Amino acid sequence: MANLQAVTDADFEAEVLKSETPVLVDFWAEWCGPCRQVAPILDEIATEHADKLRLVKLNVDENPVTAAAYRVTGIPTLNVYQNGEVVKQIVGAKPKAALLRELADIIG
């Protein structure tokens, strides 16, 4: 899995919703093949755009409350939170170029 910081139901509000920086949350699970495919891409994006976007991961099996609250029904789901609100949702594994296009308005 990616080297991203893990967040949980318990610290989601503090780590994501109250963040000064936009946060991309990777909703994933250990058994999810596409989640494993997208993990190294997210690591690259996290490294390349650390000044504009924070990336974290949330295991939906271990943290069902947050996943349910944001109606995450398919994984991987990538939600971008800004000022406590979801400003973008990307569902499914996508190549790096497609993810960067989706995130262009956030990372410039």
Enumerate the active-site residues: 32, 35
Residue 106 is which amino acid? I
HSE-up (13 A, CA, CB side) for residue 35: 21
Q: Distance from first CA to last CA of the chain, Å, rounded? A: 26
- Phi first, then psi, for residue 20 (nearest 5°) are -75, -30
Radius of gyration of the chain (CA): 12
